[in-house]
Structure 1
Amino acid sequence: MSEPIRDRLVSLRRSFHRYPEPGWREFHTTARLVEEIRAIGVDELAVGPDAYDPADRMAVLDDEVIEPWFDRARERGTDADLLDQMAGGNTGAVAVVDRGDGPSIGLRVDIDGLFVEESTDESHVPADEGFRSEGDGTMHACGHDAHMTWGLAVLDAIASSDFAGRLVVFFQPAEELGGGAHAMAESEYVAGLDYLLAAHVGLDHPTGEVVAGIEKPLAMAHVDVTIEGTSAHAGKAPNEGDNAMHAMGTAIENAYGIPRHGDGMTRVNVGRAEAGTASNVVAERALMEAEVRGETTELMEYVKTRLERVSRSAARMHGCEAEFDVISECPRADSDPELVDVVAAVAGGVPGVDRVVPTAEFGASEDATFLMECVQEDGGLASYLIVGTDHPTSHHTPTFDVDERSLEHGVDVLVESIRELERRHPLPRGGEDQ
């Protein structure tokens, strides 16, 4: 019998930290999760295309982008059968503990890393203590290594308890791409969930603080705009060209001129742009990668529609054509007050938690909202909670790290919230007497 995960949170988190993999390329990560899940012993385990329909994925990558990571996982000794099952980038897993009558509860944790080169400075704990990322140019710079550890520890604790009900843990790939939650939200495993919990570490909340549920996550869409023009000799006959670079410049300038909306906050940003081949050639092709956000899903759609309009108009102005592709997107979904109250009450009794914040504005975007929205529309309740950690620098930076005391805090809050939901199910709603 394997050692309980609750007794090895730090070593498990560090093993995940050492081998980060980016979205839709989490081959070794998924296999490592499966190894732990099988040791726990669950009632159902679905991997990759058995956990969701690959056609429902967003931000899907080309094979040439995926293959080096697939090969690297094979070289690392990853189980060949699991690799074959995940071919094409179908990573991630869903684990189910089904223990008879009781509530159906979901827990979502994300598993992907980021393209961040981790610091080698001796003051950086992972470098100093020997668990720095071994994948050059990639890093768990957002705490997903901690999230996976929580997911496994919660699964283990519930599986070994007298829990009555159904627990579904979603080990979701490609969160950083905004690509994985939609597929899992469309899967059979979401159907019938009474409650859904999602969790994140840190986010500028210190160790010992828990936010029981977020409000106002921004709806978001990632888009690619490709502009096709006509090349020409820039010196001899520039008039014969249709300048895709000039069209892109016009589109970028006009994107930042999209009127802000009176109904709430909106955002637009062009984060990457490239065009042309040489200084003496009129550029025939340009690409820009952009994102839009809104305080509501409707406001995000407003900005997205306006961005498409200005992109196509700028292309036509310069004799070009524009292709507008939505790569991924996610809606706004707020935590339900009834579930927030349960998490807050539980968190207040967890050792090491000295401050509970009922709700806080998120201020960013998260594709877990697909799962939240799906559960809520089906009559269930959802909450996205934050477990504070002292991180020395911001998320997505080379020196990001977590205070490993928060590993225990997260497990305790999640396990006890699940057990409390089991005891109190069905949870009164909308001010009903408790």
Structure 2
Amino acid sequence: MSFVQIRRDLHKIPELGFQEYKTQSYLLNYLKSLPQKRMRIETWKTGIFVRIEGLNPRKTIGYRADMDGLPIVEETGLPFLSEHPEKMHACGHDFHMSIALGLITHFLNEPIDDNLLFIFQPAEEGPGGAEPMLQSEIMNDWKPDMILALHIAPEYPVGSIAVKEGLLFANTSELFIDLTGKGGHAAYPHQTNDMVVAACSLVTQLQTIVARNVNPLDSAVITIGKISGGTVQNIIAEKARVEGTIRTLSVESMEKVKKRILSIVRGIEVGYECEAKIDFGSSYYQVYNEGKLTREFMEYVRNDTNVEVIECEKAMTGEDFGYMLKEIPGFMFWLGADSRYGLHHSKLNPKEDAIDVAISMLSKYIHYKGTKSE
């Protein structure tokens, strides 16, 4: 079976975070079809650890592939369209898993000196699987000495990668704020505490944080993507909910932004005589590529493969792989996939040639790292 076909099979069965039961089963069935002599498999919730024993191990090289899909209605029109209503692999995790399986297959047939650890991680899109997986007993026993991962990039052509040393992706946090006041008849506003008005005021004040509380030489984003409140047009709303996301390029700015949000919400409670509850939801640590390993990787790809290396800029996207890089030296890179539509879009359609490009490039690089004297 080709790895393109595997990608298509996985594309049909997208599942949300920690619900990847069919996906896990599919991966396990494939893994069981491979030579078992040097491979050990352990499951963790809906994720999987795959350890391949080296011939003369001195270290362990780790590789992470995320598994979950998104709550999006697919509109690609592909013949292998999602079979799960209102769910789609709109972030390329079907590509990521297929590439990982390709690498496992390669190294079971072409062994290297060092041990390899492949991590199929659930819930990258939320609520976050990397941090708890990192803290598991299995990871403690098999913890790699270095780790890498990729993410497809629709904006780059197939046959290229984009990467940089240092900060690649931002710190991120979800934001949910619930306001509760006193509702009532639209004709008697003086007898109520209108939560639609309170929510509107809150959103306006939140937008002052980046402009007035974050260093202009730093970067931060507060985006409110959803406001809900009220029931019908002639009833003053008793409740309102504000949902958004926070992105910062430094840990310190994330802490400052959250502290300022708490202060503003306390002011809303006093000013509008209401109660507020704040939930920062899933927070992801920045993706920070270790300098020496990243430089070495870039140099190897330039000199020993046909893949183009593009030095990219940091981005405000988030990835919970940052938690793994916080504990283990390594890096993440963008894999060119050339799609007209971007990540998290209902019409995302990356070119499948990128799968073989990644398997070929990474098998060579990992072979180089797994036989090189340090």
TM surpasses 0.5: yes
Contact 1:352 1:409 in 2 (8 A): no
Match status 1:286 vs 2:240? yes
Moved more, 206-215 or 17-26: 206-215
Question: What is the match of residue 8 of structure 2?
Answer: 14
Question: What is the match of residue 228 of structure 2?
Answer: 274
Match status 1:94 vs 2:88? no
In 1, distance between residues paired with 2:186 and 2:315? 49
In 1, distance between residues paired with 2:60 and 2:274? 53
Q: Specify every segment of 5 or more residues in structure 1 that has no aligned partner in the other structure, as ranges.
A: 52-89, 122-126, 376-380, 427-434
Question: What is the match of residue 175 of structure 1?
Answer: 124
Q: TM-score, normalised by structure 1?
A: 0.78
Match status 1:382 vs 2:330? yes
In structure 1, give the amino acid aligned to 2:83: E
Q: Superposition pairs for residues 52-201 of structure 1, below 5 Å? A: 90-99=45-54, 101-119=57-75, 121=77, 127=78, 130-177=79-126, 179-191=128-140, 192-201=143-152
In 1, distance between residues paired with 2:305 and 2:12? 29
**CA separation of 1:250 and 1:319: change in aligned 2, threshold 3 A:** same
In 1, distance between residues paired with 2:76 and 2:139? 41
Contact 1:103 1:425 in 2 (8 A): no
How far off is 1:385 after superposition? Answer: 1.4
In structure 2, give the amino acid aligned to 1:304: K
Match among 361, 371, 380 for residue 314 of structure 2: 361
RMSD over equivalenced CA pairs, Å: 2.1
How far off is 1:363 after superposition? Answer: 3.6
In 1, distance between residues paired with 2:276 and 2:373? 52
Question: What is the match of residue 409 of structure 1?
Answer: 357
In 2, distance between residues paired with 1:95 and 1:201? 22
Counterpart secondary structure, 2:98? helix
How far off is 1:352 after superposition? Answer: 4.9
> What per-residue deviation string (whole Å, max 9, x for no partner) do you get for residues 15-34 of structure 1?
11122122222221111112
- Alignment: residue pair count: 365
How far off is 1:350 after superposition? Answer: 6.2
In 1, distance between residues paired with 2:175 and 2:266? 13
What percent identity do the matched residue pairs reach? Answer: 25
Contact 1:274 1:287 in 2 (8 A): yes
Counterpart secondary structure, 1:170? strand
In 2, distance between residues paired with 1:240 and 1:94? 59
In 1, distance between residues paired with 2:319 and 2:32? 29
How far off is 1:136 after superposition? Answer: 2.8
> What per-residue deviation string (whole Å, max 9, x for no partner) do you get for residues 218-260 of structure 1?
111002111121233332x433322222221211110111125
Match among 232, 236, 246 for residue 197 of structure 2: 246
Higher strand proportion, which one?
A: 2
**CA separation of 1:13 and 1:361: change in aligned 2, threshold 3 A:** same
In 2, distance between residues paired with 1:414 and 1:12? 18
How far off is 1:387 after superposition? Answer: 1.6
Contact 1:275 1:285 in 2 (8 A): yes
Q: TM-score, normalised by structure 2?
A: 0.90
In 1, distance between residues paired with 2:183 and 2:341? 46
Question: What is the match of residue 45 of structure 1?
Answer: 41
Counterpart secondary structure, 1:134? coil
Question: What is the match of residue 182 of structure 2?
Answer: 230
Contact 1:178 1:330 in 2 (8 A): no
